[in-house]
Amino acid sequence: MSTMTAPTARDGGETRPARPPGRRRDRRSPSTPLERVLRWGLRVVVTLVLGYLVTPIVIVVLESFNSVDYLSFPLEGWSLTHYRKFFADSAWVDATLLSARIAALAALIATVVGTVAAWGLARSNARGKGFVFALLYSPLLIPIIVLAMSYYFTFADLKVIGHWQLISVAYSVMGIPYVLVAVSNALQQFDPELENAARTLGAGMTRTLLRITLPSLTSAISAGALFAFVIAFDEAVIILFVGGSGSVTLPRMLWDSVRNDLTPTLAVAGTILIVVCVGLFLLSELIKILRERRERR
């Protein structure tokens, strides 16, 4: 009478019992009651933190639809009156367009300088490149009020207070660190042998940079540029010091309106700032996703 044996499978010359069909190996150990309590506790804490961060934004957006001419919450009614007032007031519209113009130029300058600096530091073997990186990164570490005061004294000596082009240059200094960090991280994952191969095949340094390196850094450059734009678009401290009477941006209009009159039009301006910032971050993620899909193909 034969003896029944379990089916076996070979793995590297060693015989081991075969796994019964229809069963999967669960590598996760069964959770204990304490682990389940901690997991649910963590979820509750994360939910409370997110709610704490998002609630003020939601209140501002809801307040922009208030039907009365003063700030009140809960809302006393729903209306688009204050949106019509905002877009009918040339002061608010001009301030918004000036903010966009300053932010666009600041983002352009920060993107060019930050990308070139990151590429140069990544390809350099000089001893002082760590100091140069720290110097370019330092605007994030210096208090914004200190930067604003230094810009004010410099602009006052040069008699250029209120010139929006130079204000863009000041904001670009704040955007350079974001581009520098984003592009530097991308360059660490970039294979330099691709550049060497292109140079070996006869491509010059400029052509290699434009055809090989920069296309691989599109996502990082776009993310850095969007961060630089957002910083310049909604920053209020520097413009209070160097804006003068000729350059009134949207954050400065908000500041002046808070001091003079509290109306739901302020919430409309705040909602526009929120929509622009969130929209740019979503655009950054979309660019990243499209880039990854194209690389997979």
The 10s digit of each residue's pLDDT in 46-65 is 999 999 988 888 888 888 88
User: What is the band of 45 on the pLDDT scale with cuts at 50, 70, 90?
Assistant: very high
The 10s digit of each residue's pLDDT in 208-230 is 777 777 777 777 888 888 889 98
The 10s digit of each residue's pLDDT in 8-18 is 544 444 555 55
Q: Looking at the 3D structure of the chain, how many domains does it have?
A: 1
Evaluate whether residue 73 is within a structural domain: no
Higher pLDDT, 69 or 191: 69
Evaluate whether residue 60 is within a structural domain: no
Domain span at 159? 89-296
**pLDDT over 50 (residue 292):** yes
The C-alpha atoms of residue 166 and residue 174 are separated, in whole angstroms, by: 13
pLDDT at 26 (0 to 100): 47
Which whole number is the average pLDDT over 137-158?
88
Evaluate whether residue 222 is within a structural domain: yes
Mean per-residue pLDDT over the chain, rounded: 80
Which whole number is the average pLDDT over 137-149?
88
Characterize the bridge pairing of strands 8-11 and 14-17.
antiparallel
Evaluate whether residue 67 is within a structural domain: no
Evaluate whether residue 243 is within a structural domain: yes
The C-alpha atoms of residue 161 and residue 113 are separated, in whole angstroms, by: 24
Evaluate whether residue 30 is within a structural domain: no
Evaluate whether residue 55 is within a structural domain: no
The pTM score is 0.76
What CATH number has the domain bearing residue 106?
Answer: 1.10.3720.10
pLDDT at 105 (0 to 100): 94
pLDDT at 2 (0 to 100): 44
User: What is the band of 101 on the pLDDT scale with cuts at 50, 70, 90?
Assistant: very high
pLDDT at 1 (0 to 100): 44
Evaluate whether residue 147 is within a structural domain: yes
The 10s digit of each residue's pLDDT in 177-206 is 999 988 888 878 776 667 667 767 766 677
107-126 b/e (C-beta count within 10 Å ≥ 16 → b): bbbbbebbbebbbebbeeee
Of 249, 203, 217, 280, nearest to 92 by C-alpha is 249
Higher pLDDT, 73 or 162: 162
